[in-house]
Structure formats: C-alpha cells, structure tokens
Chain A
Amino acid sequence: MLEPSEIKSIDDILNDTHGQRGILIAVLQRTQEKIGYLPEDAMKMIAERLGLSLSQTYGVASFYKHFHFKPRGKKIVKVCMGTACHVRGGKAVLTELESKLGIKEGETTADRAVTLETVGCVGCCALAPVLTVNDQDLYGELTPKMVDDIIHSVRSEHGTHV
C-alpha cells in the first residue's frame, strides 16, 4: 500500500502533467524519483488517471532498464561487465558478491541495504575490473578476495575508496 504522502506526490505529478499527450514516461520518471521505484499501486494509479490499461503501462515501463518495480537498496552496487573488466575477472567478483550478499544480480538484500547490478562499461578500463557504488564511489583492480572488505565498507554509512 502507498503511504498518503506518496499518493499525494503521484497526484501532484499527474495534476501537473494533466492533459498532455505522450506524458507516460515522464510521469513514470518523476514517480520513481519520488518513491525510489514503481510500486504496483502507483502503476495502477497512473494507468487509471492516464486512461491506459495496466498491462500497457507495464509494457512501456518494462522496456526501459531505468525503471524498477521492486524496492531498491540504499546502496546500488554496479559491477562492470564491460570487455576489459570481463577479461580481467569481473565475473568472478560478481559471483563472490552474489554468494556473500546472498542475492542474485538485480536483487536487493532483505534489509534493503544493498542492490546488486551489472553495468556495461564505466569508462575507466585501466582500473579493471571495477565496481561503482551509488554511481559515485569507485572500487578498482578488484579480486574476489577484496569482496569482504568492500561489503563491509558499503554497509557502513561512509564507504572508503580503495
């Protein structure tokens, strides 16, 4: 169920864009900004107000990787799977993270602390393999052995650079 404040935010977004054509994606973006993801009740509310079917609304939203339908963690860990990182063992790092966090790629830990994702290329191939946290902190030249420390620092409030 949505919180009253969340309902109010979606309502504001919909009022704000009322009557505009082709506004669905913008509404979805702004809703996700407010709530962090797109809960089912929010999707229902949007579909109904825009006069679309729920399946159509999900059809559009699921096309974009940017939209999420499940709650996401406080920290988003993105492991690079680009060519350079792949060659230098990015997959092994991901596998280790998956087993240590107890979740699969794309999932979030039960305490909603960490979401684990993969990314195409971050653009610093010299440091491969790399991962980013919340698109801000960067960890480079990784090995599976470093995963424990990384998890520890990610879970603590202030992550430290390696």
Chain B
Amino acid sequence: MTTKMVNMEFDGKAVSVPEGMTLVDAAATVGVHIPNLCHIKELRGVGACRMCMVEVEGMKTPVTGCTTRTKEGMKVQTKTAKVEEIRKFVTDLILSFHPLDCMTCPKAGACDLQRYAADLKIQESSFGRKTFNYPLNDRSPFITIDNNYCILCGRCVRVCKEQGTNVLDFMGRGITTKVSTALDKPLHESGCTFCGSCVDACPVNTIMERDRWQHGREWDLEKKDSVCTACASGCSVVVSKKNGKIVKVNAREDNGYLCAIGRFGFDSQNAGNRVTAPLIRQGSKLAPAEWGEALKAAAEGLKKGGANAAFLASGSLSTEEAYAIQSLARDVVGSANIDTNASAYAAGLVSALRAMHGNAGIGIAAQSELASADCVVVIGADPSQKRQKLQEVDVMIRRRAQAGAKVVVISTEKTDLAGHQNAILLQVKAGTDAVAVAGLMSAVLAEGVDPSAKGLDGLKKVLISAADAASASGAAADTIAAAAKAYAAAKNPVVVIGTGVSMSEDASMQALNLALVKGAGVLPLMLEANALGVLQAGCHPDLAPGFAKVKKTGQGYREMLVGAKAALVAGPLADGNLKADFLVVMTSHMSPLAEKADVVLPMTALYERDGSITNVYGVQKSFAAAKDPEGVAKNGAEIAAELSLVMSKTKGFKMKDVEAAVKKLKAGKQSAASFKPVAAKGANAAAVSATAMLSAMNAGMLAESAVKKVLVDVSTAVSR
C-alpha cells in the first residue's frame, strides 16, 4: 500500500507529507511539534483540548491540528500570535485545577503540561485555584490513578476503548468528571489486564506505575531501547534504570502496546527462582559451582552422548543463541538431533507454508498490514488479552474491528474476539476447520472472486460447497455467506492462522488457499518470540542454518523426549517430560525440568540479553542488553561457545564466529516475503496445545513475579 504524498508548508517551510494525515502527525514527520494534550497517533482525533490550534491559509479561524487533514498546497502556521494566545488561555485554565507540585512530581520532565506551561511562560494560573481532594486510587496492583491531577484529556479512555479492554470511562459530568472504572471499582475487579497503555497515554501523572514515587525522576533514569521476548510479538520497549536496577518499562512509540508481562514482569530478574550461578548435581541436590567446573561436567556428559545426544532449543532464544547451539550440536558434539518447540505446536503450519511457498510466493503479514486491514480472518486462533494469549495481536485486531473492519472467526468455541460486535463467528465442530474454510472459499468465489487471476485454476476442483461445509462443520450457512461477503469485498484482508489448526496440514493448506485467492497477508501465529528465527538458525532436524537442507537428518522433538544418552535443553520447553541419562539445562529461572538436571547453566533473562529475533510479523529486531546480568549469568550463545571450546580446541567456536555467521544469515534471507520454512517431521508428531505451550513458555520467569498474581486475578475477575 503506497500513500500519496502532498506538497505543503509548515511555518513557511516546504515539505512533502502523506495525504490525509492529521496536521499534528504530518508535522511530526518533518520535525515540527504542534502542542497537543489529547491527541494519540493512529487514533481518530477528537479536538478536545484545543492546544493544537493552527492557522491554515484561506480559513477564517484557527482549526484543530488533530482533526484537520493534509491536502495539496496547504499552508499551515503553527506559531502565530493568535494561536499562541489560545494555547496560553487553555493552559491557564487547566493549571487552575492542576496541582503545581512539579518539584516532587514523578512525571516531571516527561509531563506534557509542564512542558507547555514552560514554553508559554505560565508560572501560575490567573484564575482561582480549584482543588478536588479526590482520594488516591492505589487499590490495584501496578497502576495508580490520582484524579486530582487529571486534565480530562481522555487519552486513557480512548486507548482503553480502542484496544477493546474498555475498563476506563468518564464518570459524572462537568468539572467533577472523573476518569474511573464502572462503580469506581479497583482495576483488577473491572476486567483490567494491566497492559498499562493508559500509563503511556497519560500526558500528566494521573495514571502511573504504582511504584514510581521516589523511585527516580525522569532525568535520573538511564533509558535503553530493548525488545521483550516473552511472546511472539517481540514488542519494542524502552527500559528505564536507576542505579543499575530497572524501575520501569514502557512501550516504544512505534509499538503502541505492551502487555503486563513485558511492562511489569521485570521483577522476575531477581526473583527467588532465578538461577544466578551454575549448578551441578550432587546426589539428590543441585549445588552451586564455578563456571569452569560446570562447563567441564556438561562437556563430559555431552561427549558421552556423542551422535546420540539430543539438543532442544526453545523458540524464545535469540537467533545467535540458537545458531550457537546448533553449531555445538552438529559441528562439535557431532549429533544431528536438534529441534525446537515449534515442531511440537506448529509443525503442520510450517510444512504447509513451505509447500505453498514455491509456487505462490506467500508473505507473512507485516504489523502495518494488520494495522490497516479491513477484514481479518482468524482461523483456529484465540489471541486474547484477558487470557494472556498473544495480547498484542488481539489489540491490533480489535483496533481494526473498532474502526469498522469485519473479523471472521473460525473456531470450535466462542473466543473473546468473536464477542466483538464486528465479529462473525463460524463455530465449527472439532476437526472440521479445514472443511469450514473450504466451504467459505466456495462462498467467496460465489461472490465473484476469480481464482484464475491468482493462478489458482485448480482450486475449483477441490472445493466443497458452502452448504455441504455448513452441514459438515455445524457452522450456520448464513454466517458463512456473511463472512464470505465481508472477505470478498475487503481491500486489505489478512488471514491469521493459529496453532489450533496448525498441527493439521490440511487445515493450514485451506487457510493459505483462502489467503492466496485474495492476495491477503498471512499471519502464522507462532507463539514464541523467535520461533521463526530459531528455525532460520537451523534448530530443526531437517534444516541447516538459512533454511538449507541438512546433509543428515536427525531425531525430532518427540523422538528426543523418549530418552537420550545425553541431552541439552536451552530455554523453556513445551513438554517437561524429557528423559535423559545426563541432562544439561540452560535457563534463566528454575523449572521442573531444571530440577531434574545434572548441570544447570545460568542464562541471562528478559532485558539482560542481547541478540536478535524474528517476531511473529517476520520482522528482525536486534536488541542490546538493557541491564547487567544477575549473578554470573551469561548469554546462551556465549555459554554454547565456551562449552564448545571446552569440548574441542579445534572444532570449538568463539562468540565472534557466531555473530559473524548470524550476520550472514540475516543478510541472506532478510525479508519476510522470502521466508522459506521447511516441512516439519510428521505433521501430527507432537501436538502441544497453544494454551499448554503458552503457560510453559514463561512459567519459570513468572513463577515468583508479582505479574503472575494479577494474571490469575484477571482471568478469574468479572468480565467487562
């Protein structure tokens, strides 16, 4: 999708900006800041605060920059005496009821109101002072609301509504209007998921992280960009530290959302179950040891395993870590037995993608594609904020639904997403997803979509009529027709394929056909942060790095679980029932599997790691460590490299070899469109449900985190 650019002027400077963008956003793209207190990028402007008034040549009166859109030849003045006067008046009024305690306020330095008051040289309101004496609402974990500071801009209400969480609203009216929940209940009793979008949206200090008071002011904080690797979304974040400790995590603006785990889960770094030193088994106990001894013990055990040793790499590892581990397995230990969790929960999808790729060139839908979709078909997936399943994907889809896009849900149960008023649910009997999708396809073709235009002439032969599909799957015929109509009419459709169908090659294939016939973007919903990157790095029995064919295939996930002579597991595993005579576990937190290990090697945790991932949208993200590791924990790639050198001076490799190899990998197959996954071994070899996988993924990390309690609370709390 290309946007038309228009030529216009901001303050006499000629610029080229996208057509139809709001003046505030367009100005920002060329480095001009139009003051605003209620605008949020990407959301529809409401023109409430009147700070963004600008003068446009040819218009009698100043207009709001957040609701006026760019046009060819427009001439905008953002700093005239007239608009400055308006802004001054607005700020003056707001300051008449906003406490002036910037000297202790934790938001100072990042407060929009403070900034504008300073710019407009307003020290004190010229109006009388109004105080409310609202009690501080600190009844919920993680987030406090202090209505005394609220300027009623409504940013929080709008982000909450747009993303479908919908727990905040304006209560009452006039000057005593209060932003709160229904009946002023605590957030955790109102269906809040503690994503903290409202915290990021608040221009002042009304809605804040709970523990910000006296924990560093903005200019004390050392800020570092990083990436959350807790799930497949791989959200971009800004980590703020004081005295080497993380005090808060915010979503990076281009990301727009961050869930409770990414935002508040950093307390897991120094939780009681954190592994901070290497551990070696001594009888029934694991005892702390030096790195040298631990590596030696691990090396000896793995050597005994030799060609029979098993290697399992979690999809949460960075590409560098994954590459180093496959290198350790294949080049140093000499074993071809290496696999990743994706083989346990998405094998069908991986092989179907590969099969389609050769002839049709299918691409993974980018986040921007989903953000502009006018119809989203969700097959066998249940992204849900309330159930902590790929929250960010749920938010992206809900934002589109809120903007009027149709969401077609094909599922065996009524998912949260299916409850949206713009959703069309095709509720199908278990195991009939493929039939339902094929029936939907017939109905789409009946709407006049021509498959031959996409080179899919053969499609008609394999279709099932919509009526047959309806009776076989149990989905109502008229809902299939309605869904087909919405999909056929869509200009920018996206098809989301979840792990619910991804173990079945047939259902995955049908879903891909459906996408191809409209040229829709496909979003294969992997679950782990770097599921795609770990495959790219070659952690798969059939795959060498870069999706090349291996010379010798090894054992897959399920075969390895049964019992190996020696095994090395890096990161959380989908299935803890691994049996091995000698077990090495590389992990950041203790887990039931780590308890059984002979050697435990401490890995760096969330925000302590550096490396790169390929997230669910096929985007490669590199990140640096935002904080020093706890104890003597090390990056997984470094551990693998050191281990390789202990095992063999000649075959061993160094960290810089890994980095160079990964750099080459990334350069080789960069774009999402050229992603070529290869068939997994046996499509139905090891089904692990998405729910089981998701709970296993972060179980260790969250076991002793305060987030866990909230997540439990949230899932049992009253629904909206």
Q: Which of A9-56 contact B (CB under 8 A)?
A: 40, 43, 47, 51, 53-56
- Asked if residues B182 and A43 are in contact (CB atoms below 8 Å), the reply is yes
What A residues does B166 contact at CB under 8 A? 53, 55-56
CB distance from A3 to the nearest CB of B (A): 20
Instruction: Return the contact of B182 from the options A51, A55, A63, A64 (Cβ within 8 A).
Output: A55
**Contact between A55 and B172 (Cβ–Cβ < 8 Å)?**
no
CA distance A55 to B167 in the complex (A): 6
Per-position contact with A for B177-195: 1 when CB-CB < 8 Å, else 0? 0000111000000110000
Contact at A59–B171, with CB atoms within 8 Å? yes
* Nearest A residue to B177, CB-CB: A63
28 A/B residue pairs, CB under 8 Å, sorted by A: A40-B183, A51-B421, A53-B161, A53-B169, A53-B720, A54-B190, A54-B191, A55-B166, A55-B167, A55-B168, A55-B169, A55-B181, A55-B182, A55-B190, A56-B161, A56-B169, A57-B182, A58-B169, A58-B171, A58-B182, A58-B183, A59-B171, A62-B171, A62-B172, A63-B170, A63-B172, A63-B173, A69-B183
Measured CB to CB, the nearest residue on chain A to B166 is A53
A contact residues vs B (CB 8 Å cutoff): 40, 43, 47, 51, 53-59, 62-64, 69
Residues in A whose Cβ lies below 8 Å from that of B421 = 51
Top 6 closest pairs, chain A to chain B, by CB: A59-B169, A53-B166, A55-B169, A54-B182, A58-B182, A62-B171
Residues of chain B within 8 A (CB-CB) of A51 are 421
Residues of chain B in range 176-227 having any CB-CB distance to chain A below 8 Å? 181-183, 190-191
| Interface residues as binary, B153-176 with A (CB distance below 8 Å gives 1, 0 otherwise) | 000000001000011111111000
Bound: A43/B170 CA distance, A? 16
Shortest B437–chain A CB gap in Å is 27
A34 to B168, CA, bound (A): 28
Instruction: Please give me the residue from chain B that is nearest to A57 by CB atom.
Output: B182
Question: Is the CB–CB distance between A47 and B720 below 8 Å?
Answer: yes
> Chain B binding site: helix, strand, loop or mixed by DSSP?
loop
Which residues of the other chain, A, contact B169 by a CB distance below 8 angstroms? 53, 55-56, 58-59
Q: What residues of A have a CB within 8 angstroms of the CB of B167 in the complex? A: 53, 55
Q: Which residue of A lies closest to B167 (CB)?
A: A55
Q: What is B's interface to A at a CB cutoff of 8 Å?
A: 161, 166-173, 181-183, 190-191, 421, 720
20 new A-B contacts at CB < 8 Å, known A56-B169, A58-B183, A62-B173: A40-B183, A43-B182, A51-B421, A53-B161, A53-B166, A54-B190, A54-B191, A55-B166, A55-B168, A55-B190, A56-B161, A57-B182, A58-B169, A59-B170, A59-B171, A62-B171, A62-B172, A63-B172, A63-B173, A64-B173
Measured CB to CB, the nearest residue on chain A to B190 is: A55
A59 vs B168: C-alpha distance in the bound complex, in angstroms?
A: 9
Q: How far is the CB of B553 from chain A (nearest CB, A)?
A: 52
Alpha-carbon distance A57/B172, docked complex (angstroms): 12
Q: Which A residues lie within 8 Å of B171 (CB)?
A: 58-59, 62
Chain B residues with Cβ under 8 A from A64's Cβ?
173
Of all chain B residues, which has the CB nearest A43?
A: B182
Residues of A within 8 A of B181 (CB): 55
Whether A54 pairs with B172 at a CB distance below 8 angstroms is no
* Cα separation A43 to B183 with both chains bound (whole Å): 10
Q: How far is the CB of A30 from chain B (nearest CB, A)?
A: 20
Once bound together, how far apart are the Cα atoms of A15 and B675, in whole Å? 52
Which residues of chain A are within 8 angstroms of B191 by Cβ–Cβ distance? 54
Residue of A nearest to B174 (CB): A63
Nearest residue, chain A, Cβ from B421: A51
A65's nearest neighbour on chain B, judged by CB, is B173
Q: Kindly state the separation between the CA atoms of A99 and B161 in the bound complex, as whole angstroms.
A: 43
Chain A residue with the shortest CB-CB distance to B171: A62
Q: Which residue of chain B lies nearest to A47 when distances are taken between CB atoms in the complex? A: B720
| CA A66 to CA B171, docked complex, whole Å | 14
Q: Which residues of A contact B172 (CB under 8 A)?
A: 62-63
Closest A residue to B160 using CB positions: A55
Across the interface, which residues of B come within 8 angstroms of A54, CB to CB?
182, 190-191, 720
Q: How far is the CA of A43 from the CA of B720 in the complex (A)?
A: 11
* From A40, A56, A59, residue with most partner B Cβ within 10 Å: A59
Chain B residues near A56 (CB-CB < 8 A): 161, 166, 169
Interface-centre pick from A43, A57, A63 (highest chain B CB count, 10 A): A63
* Min distance, Cβ A70 to any Cβ of chain B, angstroms: 10
Q: How far is the CB of A66 from chain B (nearest CB, A)?
A: 12
* Chain A residues within 8 Å of B161, by CB: 53, 56
**Assembled-state Cα–Cα distance A27/B88 (Å):** 43
Q: How far is the CA of A55 from the CA of B160 in the complex (A)?
A: 11
- Bound-state Cα–Cα, A113 to B182, Å: 27
Q: How far is the CB of A133 from chain B (nearest CB, A)?
A: 27
Q: Cα distance A62–B190 when bound, in Å?
A: 17
* Chain B residue at minimal CB-CB distance from A54: B182
Interface centre among A43, A51, A56, A64 (most CB of B within 10 A): A56
Instruction: Give Cα A62 to B171, complex, Å.
Output: 6
CA distance A64 to B169 in the complex (A): 15
B695 to chain A minimum Cβ distance, whole angstroms, is 27
- Bound-state CA distance A43–B171 (Å) is 14
- CB-CB < 8 A to B183: which residues of A? 40, 58, 69
CA–CA, A56 and B168, complex, Å? 8
Q: How far is the CB of A110 from chain B (nearest CB, A)?
A: 21
Closest to A62 in B: B171
From B168, B191, B720, residue with most partner A Cβ within 10 Å: B720
